[in-house]
Amino acid sequence: MRRALSLAILLSLPLPAAAASFDCSLAGLSPNERAICDNRDLNDADVEMATLLKFLTGLFAMGYRGEILDDQAAWLRQRMACEADITCIRAAYAKRIGALQAIYDGIDRPL
């Protein structure tokens, strides 16, 4: 169910050809960013994470939104520490997407 929701959100948004949440054509990308740009499943995970983050930060008021963004900044430092290790990057995305999905799943909403 939650994967279906994530996919529905992703498919409802227009996405540029370079799907990562950062510009893959820029010179000077870090080894971490280059690995994401060069690996389709990491690129897709980046898009899923960025989409969930944007969706969630639009739902919450300033205080909780700030917490989510602080957590995102801490997560980004952890992801960058992976350098070009694809297994490490993949695990970082799985953990962050899971955390964002848990926030979404915890929202009280009508059936």
Which phi and psi (to 5°) does residue 107 adopt? Answer: -75, 125
pLDDT, residue 108, reads 82
* Residue 110 resides in a domain: no
* Residue 111 resides in a domain: no
Ranges of H-type helices in the chain: 2-12, 31-38, 40-59, 62-81, 86-105
pLDDT, residue 14, reads 47
**How many domains does the chain contain in total?**
1
pLDDT band at 16 (very low <50, low <70, confident <90, very high): very low
* Residue 13 resides in a domain: yes
> b or e along 54-79 (b: 16 or more beta carbons within 10 Å of the residue's beta carbon)?
eebeeeeeeeeeeebeeebeebeeeb
Residue 103 has a CB neighbour count (10 Å cut-off) of 17
* Residue 37 resides in a domain: yes
Helix (H) or strand (E) holding 32: helix 31-38
Q: Which of 16-20, 22-26, 57-61, 66-70 is modeled with the greatest confidence? A: 66-70
- Contact in structure between 47 and 20 (CB atoms under 8 Å): yes
pLDDT, residue 61, reads 86
Average pLDDT over residues 66-91: 96
pLDDT band at 69 (very low <50, low <70, confident <90, very high): very high
